[in-house]
Homo-oligomer: A and B are copies of this chain.
Amino acid sequence: MRDLPVIDGLQYGNWSERIFRQMREGHVMAVHVTICYHENFRETVANIGTWNRRFAQFPDLIVPARSAVDIDEAIAGKRTAIIFGSQNCSVIEDSIDLVQICRDLGICFMQLTYNNQSLLGGGCFEACDSGITRMGREVIREMNRVGMVIDMSHSGQHSTLQAIELSDRPIAITHANPFSWHPAPRNKSTTVMRALADSGGMLGFSLYPHHLKNGSRCTLADFCGMIAETVDIMGIDHVGFGSDLCQDQPDSVVSWMRNGRWTLMDKGSEATFPNQPTWFRDNRAFGGILEGLRDLGFTQVELEKIAHGNWLRFFRDSFGAIGS
């Protein structure tokens, strides 16, 4: 169980050789990494430039992946495939033309909103959810065309349900848990989870303490029980990991994530990263969760689906352009 390959649907570490080596030790074969929270296009391109330096520096540990083939090659070569994603649509600024440009630069996921209202839809912390906007409808069509996955992790419920309906291809909620288990604004209702599964989409289970019952004190047994309950709702083929692991990040990053440039005030009294649960501190800890699930009665086939199979199938179906 400890050597079952793993795919993680979201991380935002303070990247280092140490983390990349832990990915290899933890049998993490592919990770969707965040390259944008509030950055505009030019700033995101700079972040890609920084990643290109990492790929050049650690070619024996990580490789960039823009397609399912790239991921297969990374796995064959015993490197961790790094898949770029943006947690916000700030990267395309006000321009639908930037969707294809971003996809060409390797961005495979884009959230339509990050907590707040965006040009495309409503965020989960807005009092009123606009739903998908005029521009949002066109951007969804364009993301479908170029093979960029719509991610609604930080969106409001109305926008999320509309995105599922408007998108011709399955969408993802890369990192969130059921609201019924832990009622945080970021977690998702049973209605959303059912619609997501019915449309062929994917949910990645988050290990960020604010998304966990009892926060940092959440137990492994509670977390595994939540997965079992979610599988009862969504089925075994539509769930995976999306740890939201922000390993080694300084607290200043929380301030950027929450406040961006949109407010003069510091939002949230606790602009610090919460402590991770003791049983999930880094990329070597997925095996422990899989053992916990096995102890609950999950079969080997089911564990393989959760650990990597479902994400791998979703990537294969999602990353190609229409007509390619």
Binding site for B on A (CB under 8 A): 38, 40, 90, 93-97, 116-119, 122-123, 125-131, 133-136, 138, 142, 260-265
Contacts and interface: CB of A to CB of B under 8 A. Distances in A.
A130 B126 contact: yes
10 tightest A-B contacts by CB? A130-B130, A117-B133, A95-B261, A135-B262, A128-B131, A138-B263, A94-B261, A116-B134, A128-B130, A117-B130
Given A116-B134, A118-B119, A126-B133, 18 more contacts: A38-B94, A40-B93, A90-B94, A94-B260, A94-B262, A96-B263, A116-B133, A117-B117, A117-B134, A117-B135, A125-B134, A127-B131, A130-B130, A134-B262, A134-B263, A135-B263, A138-B262, A138-B264
Contacts of A125: 134
**Interface residues of A: mostly helix, strand, loop or mixed?**
loop
A91 to B, nearest CB: 11
A49 B124 CA distance: 40
Contacts of A134: 116-117, 123, 125-127, 262-263
A125 B137 CA distance: 14
Given A135-B262, A262-B96, A122 B126 contact: no
A119 B122 contact: no
Contacts of A126: 130, 133-134
11 contacts: A94-B262, A96-B262, A96-B264, A116-B135, A117-B119, A117-B130, A119-B262, A122-B130, A123-B134, A138-B263, A138-B264
A135 B116 CA distance: 8
A25 B117 CA distance: 46
B119 A116 contact: yes
B95 A262 contact: yes
Nearest to A261: B95
Contacts of A264: 96, 138, 142
Contacts of A261: 93-97
A131 to B, nearest CB: 5
Contacts of A260: 94
Contacts of A38: 94
Contacts of A94: 38, 40, 90, 260-262
Contacts of A40: 93-94
Nearest to A139: B262
Contacts of A93: 40, 93, 261
A38 B118 CA distance: 15
Contacts of A116: 119, 133-135
Contacts of A95: 261-262
Nearest to A262: B135
Contacts of A128: 130-131
Most buried by B among A38, A122, A261: A261
